A = this chain, B = another copy of it.
């Protein structure tokens, strides 16, 4: 067993878009598991947009990171030392390892991976992003066959799952994605009925494109982004529409695309009797076993597909994270540790 571990720490709170100097690679002594704990050698790490929120110096839905803290995140790895019942050396597990080569986890905070599917699926299609999509669509989207769903960031791991689940339930699905290649992937790989490249449009022409792609209006808008997409979608929402609010990535770094937007949005919610619900998946873990039971066979049978974008090496996690926040990745962003 090596005597040292490495980790990526937050070197300072970012201002606006994160930059390289906001992160630091740190080395330290290998931690030792206490009674009831396991030591894991991390092989795969998940990068997700919510991590940007954790880096802000303000209290959000979870405690924010302090300078010097290891970046939080879910990982997959092998148990190399176990003092927890039910875990043995060599077991493949997933848990909140953080951005680190090794991590100590409590037994009840780790989950053994025993399916035949690739381990990385535990971070994406069968992990937090997939579970977010499944939970939010069911609880707050309340889809009905024949309705129309629009999802932004549609080739990301949440959006792709939302689209596939809705399509399988008989909805018309419209993707919004950044660039022609992602639009192609949205329709060809993920089966969306239509895809719109938001980079090719301002809010006004985006609305026109949406009107063509959603001729019966929009019943469910899966909100990942805010900004001009929200501005274009809102006038097309049908009465009794639903907006599961899962992210506002367009505003993460502070800009505002909608001038005087609030009165318009607030009045639309009223007059169209919309239902807007904030969704943070950490509230819903109770449903995770049901999700795995329902969705794992569909993934195994290729009824639900997924894409990954893999970066190599823990030291490259910050660059991959920064690129992901700007939409530079295609599919679920993973870091493979060497």
B residues in contact with A267, CB < 8 Å: 248, 251
Query: Which of A104-112, A253-261, A299-307, A316-324 lines the interface with chain B?
Result: A253-261
Across the interface, do A274 and B265 meet the contact criterion of CB distance under 8 Å? Answer: no
A218 to B275, CA, bound (A): 20
Across the interface, do A280 and B276 meet the contact criterion of CB distance under 8 Å? Answer: no
Q: Are A263 and B278 CB-contacts (below 8 A) given A61-B271, A273-B61, A283-B273? A: no
A247 to B256, CA, bound (A): 25
Q: Which residue of B lies closest to A251 (CB)?
A: B263
A322 to B222, CA, bound (A): 40
> A271-313: which have CB < 8 Å to B?
271-280, 283
Contact of A262 among B261, B274, B279 (CB under 8 A): B261
The answer to whether A245 has its CB under 8 Å from any CB of chain B is yes
Size category, A interface: 35 or more
Across the interface, do A269 and B276 meet the contact criterion of CB distance under 8 Å? Answer: yes
B residues in contact with A240, CB < 8 Å: 283
The answer to whether A127 has its CB under 8 Å from any CB of chain B is no
Q: Which residue of B lies closest to A61 (CB)?
A: B271
Across the interface, do B274 and A278 meet the contact criterion of CB distance under 8 Å? Answer: yes
Q: Are A251 and B239 CB-contacts (below 8 A) given A271-B53, A278-B272, A278-B273? A: no
B residues in contact with A268, CB < 8 Å: 278
Across the interface, do B278 and A271 meet the contact criterion of CB distance under 8 Å? Answer: yes
The answer to whether A60 has its CB under 8 Å from any CB of chain B is yes
The answer to whether A150 has its CB under 8 Å from any CB of chain B is no
In the complex, how many angstroms separate the beta carbon of A250 from the nearest chain B beta carbon?
Answer: 8
Across the interface, do A61 and B246 meet the contact criterion of CB distance under 8 Å? Answer: no
In the complex, how many angstroms separate the beta carbon of A171 from the nearest chain B beta carbon?
Answer: 21
> A44-97: which have CB < 8 Å to B?
53, 60-61
What are 21 A-B residue pairs whose CB atoms fall within 8 Å in the complex? A53-B271, A61-B270, A223-B266, A226-B263, A230-B266, A246-B270, A248-B263, A248-B266, A256-B262, A261-B262, A269-B276, A270-B279, A270-B280, A271-B278, A271-B280, A273-B277, A273-B278, A273-B279, A273-B283, A274-B276, A275-B275
A residues near B (Cβ < 8 Å) are: 53, 60-61, 223, 226, 230, 239-240, 245-248, 251, 254, 256, 258, 260-263, 265-280, 283
